[in-house]
């Protein structure tokens, strides 16, 4: 009797095995292809953690110590370079020399629109008043910038967000003044005069405007 039961159980097990194979062991063409998964090491790259207590530091400011600047200006130039990583004293000085010539030319010609673009409000008003007074007298200037002998940065500072740089210009200028009738009343275009100007330029470093403007003028 026991033998018969064992045989029956074996037959049932065999039958169930065949059914499972018929269902699981065959592909019908509708199953999704198995997706190859990368190893865990490939899917999850190692995370580099900053050691505790170590803070991130910015790249050091570019070296700005310049032979074109006095020692008194070096600290201020470094502060400006920290705030504006694109700042270069040599390039600034070239731009300052161009601005020097353009502002003088605009003043001599009475071009107040150009003066307004290149100067801050106070300096512009000072130039504009002088131009108006000159025109009221009927006088004209035929001045000419002969050359800039030297342009040197003598001071600089950064007071967030405004940078200021003071430049001394040593130049030769030929100056000629005529009255309303065209008569020469002063100066000569053949004899250049040594001039020494100290101009201060400023720029809001955080504004995105790369242009420097004339903030103050003085003569030596």
Task: Indicate whether this model's pTM tops 0.75.
Answer: no
The pLDDT assigned to 41 comes to 37
Structural domain span for residue 84:
71-219
- Judge whether 167 and 90 are in contact, CB under 8 Å: no
CA 129 – CA 134 distance, rounded (Å):
9
Q: What is the mean pLDDT of residues 67-93?
A: 95
In a domain, 212, yes or no: yes
Is residue 56 over pLDDT 60? no
* CATH number of the domain bearing residue 83: 3.10.450.240
Q: Does the residue 31 lie in any domain?
A: no
12 occurs within a structural domain: no
Domain assignment present for residue 171? The answer is yes
Residue 213 above 90 pLDDT? yes
Residue 64 — pLDDT band, cuts 50, 70, 90?
low
At 154-185, the pLDDT tens digits run: 999 999 999 999 999 999 999 999 999 999 99
> Which pLDDT score, from 0 to 100, does residue 59 have?
46
The residues near 21 (Cβ < 8 Å, ≥ 6 apart) are none
Domain count, the chain: 1
The predicted model gives 74-81 an average pLDDT of 96
Task: Tell me the C-alpha distance between 86 and 139, whole Å.
Answer: 44
pLDDT of residue 162: 97
More confident residue, 42 or 114: 114
What is the per-residue pLDDT for 53?
43
Q: How far apart are CA 31 and CA 193, in angstroms?
A: 95
User: What pLDDT, on a 0 to 100 scale, did the predictor assign at position 67?
Assistant: 85
Establish if 91 belongs to a structural domain.
yes
Residue 7 has pLDDT above 80, yes or no: no
The model's pLDDT over 96-154, given as tens digits with 9 standing for 90+, comes to: 999 999 999 999 999 999 999 999 999 999 999 999 999 999 999 999 999 999 999 99
Kindly report the average pLDDT of the chain as a whole number: 80
Is residue 101 in some structural domain? yes
Considering only CA atoms, which of 164, 156, 112, 160 is closest in space to residue 134? 112
Q: What is the pLDDT of residue 50?
A: 35
Flag whether pLDDT at 216 surpasses 60.
Answer: yes
In contact, 176 and 189? CB cutoff 8 Å: yes
Residue scoring higher pLDDT (2 or 83):
83
Residue 5 lies in a domain: no
The answer for residues whose C-beta is within 8 angstroms of residue 161's C-beta and 6 or more apart is 83, 204, 205, 206, 207
Q: How many residues does the chain have?
A: 220
Q: Cα separation of 189 and 9, whole Å?
A: 126
pLDDT of residue 151: 97
CB 167 within 8 A of CB 153: yes
Percent above pLDDT 70 for the chain: 70
User: Could you tell me which of 158, 164, 166, 153 has the C-alpha nearest to residue 83?
Assistant: 158
140 lies in some domain: yes
């Amino acid at each position: 009797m026991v033998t018969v039961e064992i045989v029956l159980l074996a037959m049932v097990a065999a039958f169930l095995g065949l059914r499972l194979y018929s269902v699981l062991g065959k592909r019908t063409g509708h199953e999704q292809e198995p997706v190859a998964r990368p190893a865990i090491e490939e899917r999850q790259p190692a995370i580099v953690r900053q050691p505790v207590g170590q803070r991130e530091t910015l790249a050091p400011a570019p070296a700005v110590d310049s032979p074109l600047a006095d020692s008194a200006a070096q600290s201020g130039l470094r502060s400006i370079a920290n705030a504006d990583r694109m700042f270069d004293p040599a390039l600034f000085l070239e731009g300052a020399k161009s601005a020097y010539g353009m502002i003088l030319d605009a003043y001599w010609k009475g071009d107040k629109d150009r003066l307004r673009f290149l100067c801050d409000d106070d300096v512009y008003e000072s130039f504009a008043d002088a131009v108006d007074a000159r025109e009221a007298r009927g006088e004209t200037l035929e001045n000419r910038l002969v050359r800039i002998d030297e342009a040197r940065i003598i001071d600089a500072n950064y007071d967030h967000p405004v940078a200021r740089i003071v430049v001394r210009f040593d130049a030769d200028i030929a100056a000629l003044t005529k009255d309303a009738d065209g008569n020469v009343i002063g100066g000569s275009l053949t004899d250049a005069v040594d001039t020494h100007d100290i101009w201060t330029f400023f720029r809001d470093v955080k504004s995105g405007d790369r242009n420097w403007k004339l903030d103050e003028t003085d003569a030596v």
